[in-house]
Structure 1
Amino acid sequence: MATFAKSTFSYASYAAVRPVYPVSLYEKILAYHQGPKRLCLDLGCGHGLVTRALSKEFDQLVGADPSDGMIKQAESGTPADKYPNVSYRAASAESLPFLADNSVDMVVAGQAAHWFNYPKLFAELQRILRPGATLAFWGYKDPVLVEFPEATKIVDRYAYGSGGKYLGDYWSQPGRSIVQNKLRDIQPPPSQWQDIQRIEYEPGVQGPKSGEGTLFLDKKMTLPQFLEYARTWSAFHEWQQAHPNLTRRDAGGPGDVFDEMADEMKAAERGLDDEKDIFLEFGTGLLLARKK
């Protein structure tokens, strides 16, 4: 059962602390798009972030997600008087019977494409997308603390180290590896797709904008805010289920994996504390393709 579909997952926390995509990302996608803008489909829409952001660009927006909890969160954040052309459906990306053949002008997926079953998905996209329609899938890796290289190494160890202490054994695979590899594993069949483009960014640790590629996603937050973001990771949710007695300190518990991680980060980096702003950059991969 997918983490985001479980009743124990906090949809409100997810919506509150996940990164917001910049205007420049949407501009890049819309500049690539050709033809009409009647209907856009947002797959794995989650709490509706992307669906709402594109609402002024298309006549109709449909957000689809297999999690009823995510759909409820999306609907609560999308008032009908402000977004009259947006609707949501509880559905998997691979089965969209409510959409007519050749009816969709653009399909997008933000931080969701690593969950899909691609043989089934591409078959369904062949049915619902019009010729010339746009596919735009993007995802982001774990953030890099661009001014704190040692703290970044510690985050990576806690996120992907093996053994019960770390989160490495709790990620869903191959999905997480697909994200870490910037969606390069997603290969649109050349017989069905053309004009394929990939736009990537890999952060550096020499300060802001010291990485390589096109930067789309960065964020400034304090260390406690960063820990709240990390606690929305699907692997952390699974870790919690396996360690019910290791609850967070600020809730009166002995401390969870991220309390311990924060202790190590502050010990390793002079000047890193709970008050200082941290500059984060995310490695990203954007896949663009056009249906033949």
Structure 2
Amino acid sequence: MATFARPTFSAKAYAAFRPTYPASLFRTVLDYHQLRLAGNGTTLVDIGCGHGLIARALSPHFQHLVALDPSAGMVKQARQMTEDPKISFHQGRAEDLSPFVRPTSVDLAVAGQAAHWFDYSAVWSELARAMKPGGTVVFWGYVDGVLLGAENATAVMEKFVYGFGDVAPGIEGMAPYWEQPGRNILRGLLGSVDVPGDNWKDVTRITHKPGDPDGDSVAWLKKKMTLGEVEAYTRTFSCYSGWKDAHPEMKSRAEGGDGDVVDVMWDHMIDSTPEWKAMGGQWREAEVINDWGTYIIMARKK
């Protein structure tokens, strides 16, 4: 994914402000895998590992963990944040696992917030080569959170994040700077991704559309956040990194400029919500529940 190689992309900020995964998600993964005792598993592969969050969380259940990411910056960040000797980090892709794992050696392969970038003409056959019979593959991800009870502000964010042309006077929307088709695949909660039946069985999908009243086992990424935290999170969007590269003259207020697209977006969001606007310069202290759209896809090797 080219975004993570951009000069404006910060792996450190991504690690700091992206949401973490709840224990309920990992229970779902391990229960499907039928792995309940620490140390029972042998090898886990974390594909698109980012800063190593998933590998660190699942490490107690495996003897060896191989974590891969196509971004050298992400791999560097993961190594800096991880002291676990069981985890090895490498620059690599889902489409070619051969430099990192032997055939039929992997118990569980996971991909969190990465599977929308895969080339599935190669990935399923590569995973089939690497997995043990009965081994499992689990992909999951999230997209487009709704700020519950702040529908007007959510609509403003949608306009700026997915708008083409000017979304405010002199401000181009961020839509052209999403990498495609990956973003649209993710927005569809990977419904367009088929699991082939030749090597895989027991396929299970769990999806949640943001704002739907699903239970916690389905709506597994819902978090109370301050608006300041949500603002910082929006600056980790890959489209924002692309927008900044395209508009280097427009500096954020934090950089001493007059404001960039995210500054202006938040101006409009605050104006749309009277209780936030009434807080004046303290609006970042307001709290909101962010409810993301999510998916989990699970399959077992025949």
Query: What does the per-residue CA deviation read over 1:178-234, in whole Å, with 9 as the maximum and x for residues that have no partner?
Result: 111111122111111111111111222xxxxx6336111122222222121111111
Q: 2:137 corresponds to which residue?
A: 135
Q: 1:202 corresponds to which residue?
A: 209
2-side partners of 1:261 and 1:223: how far apart?
A: 13
Q: 2:287 corresponds to which residue?
A: 277
Q: Secondary structure at the match of 1:12?
A: helix
1-side partners of 2:254 and 2:5: how far apart?
A: 26
2:69 aligned with 1:65:
yes
Kindly indicate whether the alpha-carbon contact (under 8 Å) linking 1:102 and 1:130 is maintained by their aligned counterparts in 2. yes
Q: 2:152 corresponds to which residue?
A: 150
Query: 1:7 deviation in Å?
Result: 4.1
Pairs within 5 Å for 1:47-86: 47-79=51-83, 83-86=84-87
Pairs within 5 Å for 1:100-249: 100-163=102-165, 165-204=172-211, 211-212=213-214, 214-249=218-253
2:299 aligned with 1:289:
yes
In structure 2, relative to structure 1, the CA distance for the partners of 1:240 and 1:7 (3 Å cut) is closer
Q: Which amino acid aligns with 1:118?
A: Y
Query: What does the per-residue CA deviation read over 1:115-163, in whole Å, with 9 as the maximum and x for residues that have no partner?
Result: 1111111121111111111110001012110110111111111111112
Q: Secondary structure at the match of 2:41?
A: coil
Q: Secondary structure at the match of 1:254?
A: coil
Kindly indicate whether the alpha-carbon contact (under 8 Å) linking 2:144 and 2:210 is maintained by their aligned counterparts in 1. no
Kindly indicate whether the alpha-carbon contact (under 8 Å) linking 2:253 and 2:263 is maintained by their aligned counterparts in 1. yes
Kindly indicate whether the alpha-carbon contact (under 8 Å) linking 2:156 and 2:265 is maintained by their aligned counterparts in 1. yes
List runs of 5+ in structure 1 lacking aligned partners: 205-209
2:20 aligned with 1:20:
yes
Q: Which amino acid aligns with 2:57?
A: A
Query: What does the per-residue CA deviation read over 1:3-45, in whole Å, with 9 as the maximum and x for residues that have no partner?
Result: 1123442110000000000000000010001476110100000
Percent of paired sites with the same residue: 45
1-side partners of 2:165 and 2:222: how far apart?
A: 30
Q: Which amino acid aligns with 1:178?
A: I
Q: 2:10 corresponds to which residue?
A: 10
Kindly indicate whether the alpha-carbon contact (under 8 Å) linking 1:138 and 1:183 is maintained by their aligned counterparts in 2. no
Q: Which amino acid aligns with 1:113?
A: A
Kindly indicate whether the alpha-carbon contact (under 8 Å) linking 1:5 and 1:66 is maintained by their aligned counterparts in 2. no
Q: Which amino acid aligns with 2:28?
A: K
Q: Which amino acid aligns with 1:4?
A: F
2-side partners of 1:262 and 1:117: how far apart?
A: 35
Kindly indicate whether the alpha-carbon contact (under 8 Å) linking 2:3 and 2:9 is maintained by their aligned counterparts in 1. yes
TM-score by length of 2: 0.91
Query: 1:59 deviation in Å?
Result: 1.1
1-side partners of 2:182 and 2:97: how far apart?
A: 21
More helix by share: 2
Kindly indicate whether the alpha-carbon contact (under 8 Å) linking 2:6 and 2:241 is maintained by their aligned counterparts in 1. no
1-side partners of 2:63 and 2:227: how far apart?
A: 41
Pairs within 5 Å for 1:251-270: 251-270=255-274
Q: Secondary structure at the match of 1:140?
A: strand
Kindly indicate whether the alpha-carbon contact (under 8 Å) linking 2:251 and 2:258 is maintained by their aligned counterparts in 1. yes
Could you tell which deviates more after superposition, 33-42 or 120-129?
A: 33-42
2-side partners of 1:8 and 1:271: how far apart?
A: 33
Kindly indicate whether the alpha-carbon contact (under 8 Å) linking 2:8 and 2:245 is maintained by their aligned counterparts in 1. no
Kindly indicate whether the alpha-carbon contact (under 8 Å) linking 2:70 and 2:93 is maintained by their aligned counterparts in 1. yes
Kindly indicate whether the alpha-carbon contact (under 8 Å) linking 1:203 and 1:212 is maintained by their aligned counterparts in 2. no
List runs of 5+ in structure 2 lacking aligned partners: 167-171, 277-282
Query: 1:249 deviation in Å?
Result: 1.0
Kindly indicate whether the alpha-carbon contact (under 8 Å) linking 1:34 and 1:133 is maintained by their aligned counterparts in 2. no
Q: Which amino acid aligns with 1:283?
A: G
Kindly indicate whether the alpha-carbon contact (under 8 Å) linking 2:8 and 2:244 is maintained by their aligned counterparts in 1. no
**How many residue pairs were aligned?**
284
1-side partners of 2:182 and 2:45: how far apart?
A: 21
